[in-house]
Amino acid sequence: MNPALPLSVVVPAFNEHDNIVPLVEEVVAALRGVVAFELVVVDDCSSDGTLGALQALKSRVPELRVLHHAARSGQSVAIRNGIKAARGDWIATLDGDGQNDPADIPMLLAARAAAAPGVKLFAGWRVERHDSAGKRRASRWANAIRARMLGDDTPDTGCGTKLFERAAFLELPFFNHMHRYLPALMQRDGWLTVSVPVNHRPRSHGQSKYNNFGRAWVGLRDLRGVAWLIRRGSTTRAEEY
């Protein structure tokens, strides 16, 4: 069995051929010499050469591991499969489109070092968004509804930049799109969460894989389900004597 690492960076990618190589290089620049890490990129059955670009990188990026879905399965499944394969005790996640800044990961690690042991999730907070006006409006609307229904005291759950304990994540109930509700789900399990301001960048290449209407419709259905989980959930930590 391979030894555990302090950190695994997990990146889901779908048709990000032009973004994935610079992103991998930025992760390496941000973390080499700072912490022992691996980078697990999960290709969600891309059709644009993303997988080939990742395979070509492996010869010069020894930290890189590449997983590939045989069929397109979505972002939540890609993230979970990357985390299940990861060897790190803690997981940092980034979106594959390059809008999240890998340079924020050391800042999240510093926040963890200063936090109480019960904090298991450090969620990125995109204070200054670089998305279209319509997408920003939709996100504000969705965040307001989510906060009212779930009471998770988190200003931005859609940010892909996160740092969390692997073991705590794997105890959470899994469902599609669950990555958008990690603060509420972690709190449901009795853990503390902290929001940390992070950088957000314009998309350099390609297009978003979501539209506002589709995201809103799925989000409303998911919100009802997560609210039900919170109402029905009951977690008590057991200590052995």
- pLDDT tens-digit readout, 10-32: 999 999 999 999 999 999 999 99
Length of the chain, in residues: 241
Name 36's Cβ contacts closer than 8 Å, sequence gap at least 6: 5, 6, 7
DSSP 8-state code for residue 131: S
- pLDDT tens-digit readout, 61-101: 999 999 999 999 999 999 999 999 999 999 999 999 999 99
Q: In the numeric block, which tokens belong to residue 6?
A: 């302090």
pLDDT at res. 213: 46
Residue 109: its H or E element? helix 105-114
Reported as a pLDDT band with limits 50, 70 and 90, residue 215 is low
* 195: in domain: yes
* 194: in domain: yes
* 237: in domain: no
* 44: in domain: yes
Residue 218: its H or E element? helix 212-232
* 131: in domain: yes
pLDDT at res. 212: 47
- Nearest by Cα to 31 from 74, 62, 75: 62
Mean local confidence (pLDDT), 54-61: 96
* 207: in domain: yes
Alpha-carbon distance of 205 to 1, in angstroms, equals: 39
Domain ranges, residue 75:
5-232
Output the domain CATH number for residue 55: 3.90.550.10
Mean local confidence (pLDDT), 164-178: 94
What pTM did the predictor assign?
0.86
* 238: in domain: no
- Nearest by Cα to 46 from 80, 85, 11: 11
Name the residue type at position 183: P
Q: Which of 33-47, 127-141, 179-193 has the highest mean pLDDT?
A: 33-47
Question: What's the total number of domains in the chain?
Answer: 1
* 239: in domain: no
Q: Is the pLDDT of residue 120 over 70?
A: yes
